[in-house]
């Protein structure tokens, strides 16, 4: 069942994000595709992200109580690879692949990301192998560009309008 599940999920096209955190537990980050809006109709919008429970980033978010979801553009595959563990960079060295600013919560915001959502942890749920962090958005950074980096069929793609093909 697991193999069939993974094969089926590999066919889903998902935006690529780097989730970052900084604080008492240190600066950490990880590449994820599991991000979703939760509500725009609250005083501060909310979103969620799922991070593997063995990831040092999950442990750091739990302690730091904040995180930033950085939506990558299709020209940022090297950033994705670094935070996905596809390079030799470890822990804080991963941040050397790009330029970062400090968000209102202290979490690193990627300069040039299509969008960055700086959040405080509102809820945390453990489900199977992942921590689900629900974040209350404190600040949003938007940049030029409209071509998100997409991961589908086990490779990078970009989103293009159907009439552009």
Q: Find the range with the poorest average confidence among 2-11, 44-53, 115-124.
A: 2-11
Residues for the chain: how many in total?
165
The overall pTM is greater than 0.85: yes
Q: What is the mean pLDDT of the chain?
A: 95
> What confidence score (pLDDT) does residue 98 get?
97
Structural domains of the chain, with CATH: 16-151 (2.30.110.10)
Confidence of residue 163 (pLDDT cuts 50, 70, 90): confident
Provide CB contacts within 8 A for 67, sequence distance 6+: 19, 20, 21, 49, 61, 105, 107, 119, 121, 133, 135
**pLDDT higher than 90, residue 83:** yes
In angstroms, the CA 152 to CA 99 distance is: 26
In angstroms, the CA 158 to CA 85 distance is: 21
């Amino acid at each position: 069942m697991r193999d069939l599940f993974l094969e089926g999920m590999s066919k889903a096209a998902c935006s690529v994000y780097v989730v970052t955190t900084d604080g008492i537990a240190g600066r950490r980050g990880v590449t994820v595709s599991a991000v979703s809006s939760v509500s725009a109709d609250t005083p501060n919008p909310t979103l969620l992200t799922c991070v593997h429970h063995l990831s040092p980033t999950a442990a750091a978010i739990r302690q730091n109580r904040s995180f930033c979801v950085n939506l990558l553009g299709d020209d940022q595959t090297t950033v994705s690879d670094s935070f996905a563990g596809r390079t030799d960079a470890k822990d804080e060295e991963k941040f050397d692949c790009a330029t970062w600013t400090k968000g209102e919560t202290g979490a690193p915001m990627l300069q040039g990301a299509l969008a960055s959502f700086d959040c405080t942890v509102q809820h945390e749920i453990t489900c199977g192998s992942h921590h689900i962090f629900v974040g209350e958005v404190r600040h949003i950074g938007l940049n030029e560009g409209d071509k998100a980096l997409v991961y589908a069929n086990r490779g990078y793609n970009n989103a293009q309008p159907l009439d552009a093909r």
